[in-house]
Amino acid sequence: MPSAAEPAAPVDSTELDLFRETVRRFFAAEAEPHYTRWEADGIIPRDFYRRMGAAGLLCVDQPEEYSGGGAPFEFAMVVLEEAGRMGYLALASNLTVHSDIVAPYLLHLGSEEQKRRWLPQMAAGECIGAIAMTEPGAGSDLQGMRTMAIADGDGYVVNGSKTFITNGQNADIVVLATKTDPAAGAKGTTLFAVDTSLPGFKRGRNLEKIGLHAADTSELFFDNLRVPVTAVLGRIGGGFGHLIDELPRERLALAVTAVGHAAGALEKTIDYVTQRKAFGAAVANFQNTRFELARMKTDLEVHRAFAEKCTRLYADRRLDVPTAAMVKLASTEMEGRVTDACLQLFGGYGYMTEYPISRYFADARIQRIYGGTSEIMKEVIARSLVGR
């Protein structure tokens, strides 16, 4: 990995384009025929992760010594952008958690034993990752979390619950945020890499959502869950700092997905308006349609440029917390504007679930909420400008 002073080598754009083609072909062959069924089932089958692993599309920028792809960071972002572009936002969210949150947490914070235990299996798709921070009473305000891990002999006993956890039904490993010292405030937060097969780990419902239907989003419960001390991830009491350190990648991943998702919605809309006729002309011929398409394309490209800049900053280890908040805020708000205006150009057909634009529209709504809401992004940015 480069140091902060040493930028990563520039990425070969031909190789990146070839990789993008590979990703597109893979999704067209392996996801497209099944996606509607996955939505009906509310979950993507584990076997699909194995296929992604076999194709080298999981953990693509993880080091080869842990069976990752060893590719530059930009390649990891291409997987998400393409999943978004094809309208598979639920898949993109699952992959973000697996490859772009849980795997980097393990790589950056894990002991050698933790890395060797989990990362190769995650790259192979044999083991699926989730991150559990949110609780019924603690979302934006994570300091309010109540899940407790109490030191006991050679380990910890965990009690509490989490909600809205992506990959919650499929997960084999959960990066779990707990309080180990409630009196210490933020300094009393500790992360654990939890093996979900342990007694006391229980999965709740696969939650029903207005969109993102193929993603398994779940409640999790911990009932005297005993974890060994070797499951501590990072420093005891250092959990909050670790979360903040890792947030830029999560937020950038959501922003890149937003750009891909908006681009896919716009492509579908251009196809539709050039074919659909009204008043004896293609809908594309109306000045309103032309101006809307022009406005959306411009909106998209401005945000693509910012996302690409932030991708480079991250690759060079220079993406800071406020800039990551800016790119997440800007790109996901743009995604909301674009998917809404695209649906409008489909008229009533846009509201029918058989038209994929309806999925783009419904799925996009979550992007302004998870990974930190737009309001929290504004707070983070404002704090960097004028303090608290």
Q: Which residues are catalytic?
A: 250
Least Å distance, CB 319 to ligand FAD, is 20
Least Å distance, CB 3 to ligand FAD, is 30
| Residue placing its CB nearer to ligand FAD in the complex, 255 or 296 | 255
Least Å distance, CB 316 to ligand FAD, is 27
Count other Cβ atoms within 10 Å, centred on residue 221.
17
| Residue placing its CB nearer to ligand FAD in the complex, 190 or 289 | 190
Helix orientation angle between 13-30 and 46-54, rounded to the nearest 10 degrees: 150
Query: What is the rounded distance in angstroms from the CA atom of residue 333 to the CA atom of residue 388?
Result: 24
DSSP 135: B
Least Å distance, CB 1 to ligand FAD, is 25
Strand runs (DSSP E) across the chain, as ranges?
129-132, 148-152, 155-166, 173-179, 189-195, 201-206, 217-228, 232-233, 277-278, 281-282
Query: What is the rounded distance in angstroms from the CA atom of residue 90 to the CA atom of residue 92?
Result: 5
| Residue placing its CB nearer to ligand FAD in the complex, 8 or 138 | 138
Least Å distance, CB 125 to ligand FAD, is 18
| Residue placing its CB nearer to ligand FAD in the complex, 221 or 286 | 221
Query: What is the rounded distance in angstroms from the CA atom of residue 97 to the CA atom of residue 92?
Result: 9
DSSP 218: E
Which residue has its beta carbon closest to ligand FAD? 139
- Under 8 Å between Cβ of 358 and 351: yes
Binding residues (CB under 6 A) for ligand FAD: these are 97, 131-134, 139-140, 164-166, 209, 212, 217, 366, 369-370, 372-373, 375-376, 379
| Residue placing its CB nearer to ligand FAD in the complex, 124 or 142 | 142
User: Hey, CA dihedral for 205, 211, 216, 218, is it positive or negative?
Assistant: negative
- Under 8 Å between Cβ of 271 and 295: no
Query: What is the rounded distance in angstroms from the CA atom of residue 277 to the CA atom of residue 284?
Result: 9
